[in-house]
Amino acid sequence: MRLARWLFLLLSTLPASGAFAQQYPAKPVRIVVPFPPGQATDILARLLADQLSKSLGQQFIADNRPGAGGSVGTDAAAKAAPDGYTLVMATIATFGINPALYPKLAYEPLRDFAPISNLGLTPQTLVSSPKAGLGSLKDLVAKAKASELNYASSGNGSASHLTMELFRAAAGVRLNHVPFKGSPEAQTQVFGGEIPIMFDAIPGVLAAIKSGKLKALGIASPKRSPFLPDLPTIAEQGYPGFEAVGWIGIAAPARTPEPILKTLQAEIAKALDQPEMKRRMSELAFIPVGDTPEQFAAFIRAENAKWTQAVRDSGAKVD
């Protein structure tokens, strides 16, 4: 009798779970963007929201909640109901670097969120001022070994800062960090030759490289970028395994039902394969991914380990 009752209860939950997945979404879905409008994360969120609105028949709405390097909006999303109606854009900053950078961070990526999919990748690129007289990565290393060089970054604890710290350790050179409030300010100093080098993601420097305002010395990806196919990777220039790739994905609050996560991942993979989405991501210099929740979770775990070590080595901390 007890066994029969247990089987009845078990079987009775299965149709409900299936029906729950079929009904989703039954109302508009909010995608929290933890950065201001106009940035790459915001643009990608709105592109994705438009595609999901069409494919799932409910409105997906980008909701900008900037502040504290993306931590404010991400924390708000972590506290939302785990029902599939609040999602969050997950980035190298908010899910990869911030957990190591902020000692009192209110959320933990893999404890408080269910990863859905990594949307796109964009590697860091090492650039120099044409006035610096650096013809190659080899020239930079030789000069930095002879005397300490300054480098610019988009801010203390940023990907551009920590990538250069990874390179400093790999190359065994002397480099001095000069942080700025964002990439535009840092690039201005490199354009003018006041500071010779910096790392930045491809979208931020691609136009300047093509116009000759910046010289590209190497790219921090496992293979060459389709956006700069003639630029050698840093790995192939003598630093095997050197990699620092920016990324933007999407996640839901922890305990969001698995059928909803699977529905979203499948629709996101379809969206990334749409010609219009591919075109717009190419314009942003992002390489589409569209992986599974399990693959994205493993990726985040590896990123946490990498950037925790980089933060520790650099001494970068934010209270």
Handedness of CA 269, 270, 275, 279 (dihedral sign): negative
Asked whether residue 71 is domain-assigned, the answer is yes
- The yes-or-no verdict on residue 95 having pLDDT over 60 is yes
- The last residue of one of the domains, among 191, 206, 237, is 237
Average pLDDT over residues 57-73: 95
CATH number where 292 lies? 3.40.190.150
Predicted confidence at residue 319, as pLDDT, reads 55
Predicted confidence at residue 52, as pLDDT, reads 97
Examine the domain organization and report whether 221 and 294 are in the same domain: no
Distance CA 208, CA 210 (A): 5
Six-digit token string for 71: 């931590």
Lowest-pLDDT range of 13-27, 29-43, 214-228, 255-269: 13-27
Query: What is the amino acid identity at position 80?
Result: A
Six-digit token string for 94: 């908010």
* Residue 136, domain extent: 123-237
Predicted confidence at residue 8, as pLDDT, reads 41
Cβ–Cβ < 8 Å for 251, 80: no
Examine the domain organization and report whether 210 and 224 are in the same domain: yes
- The yes-or-no verdict on residue 71 having pLDDT over 80 is yes
Asked whether residue 1 is domain-assigned, the answer is no
Overall pTM > 0.95 = no
Cβ–Cβ < 8 Å for 220, 232: no
pLDDT confidence band for 6 (50 / 70 / 90) = very low
Examine the domain organization and report whether 198 and 281 are in the same domain: no
| 286-297 residue pLDDT tens | 999 999 999 999
Examine the domain organization and report whether 186 and 172 are in the same domain: yes
Predicted confidence at residue 36, as pLDDT, reads 92
Predicted confidence at residue 75, as pLDDT, reads 97
Examine the domain organization and report whether 114 and 249 are in the same domain: yes
| 106-129 residue pLDDT tens | 999 999 999 999 999 999 999 999
Q: Residues 290, 230, 274, CA angle at the centre, nearest 5°?
A: 25
Predicted confidence at residue 102, as pLDDT, reads 87
Asked whether residue 82 is domain-assigned, the answer is yes
| 131-150 residue pLDDT tens | 999 999 999 999 999 999 99
Predicted confidence at residue 5, as pLDDT, reads 46
Number of domains in the chain: 2
Average pLDDT over residues 149-178: 94
Distance CA 161, CA 177 (A): 8
Asked whether residue 2 is domain-assigned, the answer is no
Residues contacting 171, CB < 8 A, separation 6+: 141, 144, 239
Predicted confidence at residue 318, as pLDDT, reads 64
Smallest CA-to-CA distance from 129 within 115, 112, 102, 150 is with 150
Examine the domain organization and report whether 212 and 289 are in the same domain: no
Q: What is the mean pLDDT of the chain?
A: 91
Examine the domain organization and report whether 275 and 131 are in the same domain: no
pLDDT confidence band for 2 (50 / 70 / 90) = very low
- The last residue of one of the domains, among 194, 210, 237, is 237
Examine the domain organization and report whether 227 and 250 are in the same domain: no
Asked whether residue 302 is domain-assigned, the answer is yes
Distance CA 185, CA 204 (A): 12
Asked whether residue 7 is domain-assigned, the answer is no
pLDDT confidence band for 57 (50 / 70 / 90) = very high
Six-digit token string for 82: 């785990």
CATH number where 184 lies? 3.40.190.10
Predicted confidence at residue 103, as pLDDT, reads 83
Examine the domain organization and report whether 198 and 106 are in the same domain: no
Examine the domain organization and report whether 130 and 93 are in the same domain: no
Between 4 and 223, whose confidence is greater? 223
- The yes-or-no verdict on residue 10 having pLDDT over 80 is no
Predicted confidence at residue 94, as pLDDT, reads 96
Cβ–Cβ < 8 Å for 240, 29: no
Asked whether residue 95 is domain-assigned, the answer is yes
Tell me phi and psi for residue 85, to 5 degrees. -100, 0
Predicted confidence at residue 314, as pLDDT, reads 83
Examine the domain organization and report whether 144 and 230 are in the same domain: yes
Predicted confidence at residue 209, as pLDDT, reads 96
- The last residue of one of the domains, among 237, 253, 274, is 237
Asked whether residue 130 is domain-assigned, the answer is yes
| 156-168 residue pLDDT tens | 899 999 999 999 9
Examine the domain organization and report whether 132 and 180 are in the same domain: yes
Q: Which residues of 60-74 are buried (b: 16+ CB within 10 A; e: fewer)?
A: bebbbbbebbbbbbb
